[in-house]
Chain A
Amino acid sequence: MKQFLKKRWHGIPVGIVSGVLALVLVAGGAFAAYSFTKVQVEVVVEEAIVLGYNWCGYSWAEGDGDDLAPYMVGGAVVPEIMLEEGTGGYDLDVTIQKGDGVDASEFCPGETLIIPLNLRNKSDGSLTLDITNGGTTALDIAFKVNSGGWADSVNLAMAGHLGAFGSDVDCDGVQDAGSTCLYIKVHAPGDCPPGSQTFSLDFSRS
């Protein structure tokens, strides 16, 4: 054995080389005998609850919508309303301020604004949606779904694939079956300080 390992050919240690080759051959065979395979799984979970609006007859509405537009109880001029998706996509920041160039668009103490929004569940499964006021001291906020009553929060069971874009009542007052409309009632109490007001809506599903 020692003589074999010491064999050299033109200075090349052929004995050692052949020994290493034999060891690699055995190790490779043993590894090959251990048979398995792997497949990868990549699951992308997307948000199922879609909150939208498509208000018609409103100067800053996106496109030619046919949803019921925001309105003032009592018929006053509607102030400017800004909707921004909050961090994480689970809350909605609503800012109410005076419209540019329209003096009558002020949101004054004692006035009440109604903001209709669409809710849609894109999931195959039913989901329960909780909507609460994320915190404001200056305004009184209440909610209702479709023709329900007003409440401080909403606990809404939404069946799979519930709702279509388009609120339950369009500009012409026609009921749009299958949609879910969330109404936000914003009341400025008598002691509400002047200036733009922002409040946040918290959405959570289970």
Chain B
Amino acid sequence: MKRIVVIILILGSLLVPSVVSAESGTSTLPGIEITGRTGDGNWIDNTWKVTMYPGEQKSTAVTFKNPSLRDITLALSATPSVFDDGNVIISLDNSTLIVPAKSEACAVISASATGSATPETYSAEIRIEALPPPPSVTTNNATRITWFGSTLNGQLDGLGNFSSMSVSFEWGTSPGALDRETHSRPKSRTGAFRAWLYWLSPNTTYYFRAKAEGDGTIAYGDELNFTTKKPKKPFWWFWWWWWWR
């Protein structure tokens, strides 16, 4: 029974920081810091307050700093964004903002009023959401290169927002023109994958790149190449095969 009580205490202690982080999830962006807010009007806590006349446009720039080692993509939206039959508009310069690793990026929030705008107070909410990193794949060097085949190697580094992706290799004999593709297979976790190419021509350079596809979103690795070996001895059956193919 004492063990049960200990388990409850451990779970309870874990629960406290969990609830705290859930609360902060509505007011902070993990991995992102807001380092500057400049421009027209005033920032009071989390509210941009600006006074303007009809015919004017006011704006404020918000600087985001990403101290992490990976790029972070932010999705920004204003709700509502149109007031007074279109005479007052609150807008953002971009709906998505990529904050590079160890760097900063800026988003501009603007408010504009036409000459016919009705004097009044208008309120909107800007939602800033950190998007999951896009899927990424790496092409690794080919291995087991023989005079008639090779093993292509790739690495699925991230699935982005997808639970599963189809991985394959595109390949061909001309750089930048990879007109053939290996059979794709589903992959639901990051990690290495490979494909075996055979019936290749000896002493020929082949180009290839890794590919990961999920619901229309495609990620490619860099294009690499390998050259099949020369056959050491031209066996009689090789020449027969050469003629046959």
Residues of chain A whose beta carbon lies under 8 Å from any beta carbon of chain B: 7, 9, 14-15, 17-18, 21-22, 24-25, 28-29, 31-48, 89, 122-128, 160, 204-206
Report which of A33, A36, A123, A127 forms a contact with B129, defined as CB distance below 8 A: A36
With A43-B121, A45-B54, A46-B52 as known contacts, state yes or no: A21 contacts B15, CB within 8 Å. Answer: yes
Q: Which residue of A lies closest to B47 (CB)?
A: A40
**How many of B's residues come within 8 Å of A, CB to CB?**
57
Nearest CB of A to B52, in Å: 6
Nearest CB of B to A38, in Å: 5
Pairs of residues from A and B, 7 with the lowest C-beta to C-beta distance, nearest first:
A125-B55, A48-B53, A123-B53, A28-B18, A36-B129, A32-B21, A40-B47
Q: Which residue of B lies closest to A204 (CB)?
A: B116
Report which of A35, A38, A127 forms a contact with B125, defined as CB distance below 8 A: A38
**Interface 0/1 of B100-115, CB less than 8 Å to A:** 0000000001010111
Nearest CB of A to B123, in Å: 5
Q: Which residue of B lies closest to A160 (CB)?
A: B55
The CA-CA distance from A205 to B21 in the complex, in Å, is: 50
The CA-CA distance from A18 to B50 in the complex, in Å, is: 50
Known contacts A28-B15, A32-B21, A40-B48; 13 further A-B pairs (Cβ under 8 A)? A14-B4, A14-B8, A24-B15, A37-B27, A39-B46, A39-B47, A40-B47, A41-B50, A41-B90, A41-B126, A43-B90, A125-B54, A125-B57
The CA-CA distance from A169 to B130 in the complex, in Å, is: 61
Q: Is B93 an interface residue (CB 8 A)?
A: no
CB contacts (< 8 Å) of A125 on chain B: these are: 53-57, 115
Residue pair B127, A42 in contact (C-beta under 8 Å):
no
CB contacts (< 8 Å) of A44 on chain B: these are: 49-52, 120-122
Residue pair A38, B18 in contact (C-beta under 8 Å):
no
CB contacts (< 8 Å) of B116 on chain A: these are: 204-206
Residue pair A25, B14 in contact (C-beta under 8 Å):
yes
The CA-CA distance from A17 to B62 in the complex, in Å, is: 45
Q: Which residue of B lies closest to A22 (CB)?
A: B11
Q: Is B25 an interface residue (CB 8 A)?
A: yes
Q: Is B124 an interface residue (CB 8 A)?
A: yes
A-B contact pairs, 12 of them (CB 8 A): A28-B22, A36-B128, A38-B127, A41-B111, A44-B120, A44-B122, A46-B119, A47-B119, A48-B54, A122-B53, A123-B54, A205-B116
Q: Is B117 an interface residue (CB 8 A)?
A: yes
Residue pair A21, B11 in contact (C-beta under 8 Å):
yes
CB contacts (< 8 Å) of B62 on chain A: these are: 39
Residue pair A7, B46 in contact (C-beta under 8 Å):
no
Residue pair A31, B22 in contact (C-beta under 8 Å):
yes
The CA-CA distance from A40 to B126 in the complex, in Å, is: 6
Report which of A7, A39, A160, A204 forms a contact with B4, defined as CB distance below 8 A: A7
Residue pair A17, B8 in contact (C-beta under 8 Å):
yes
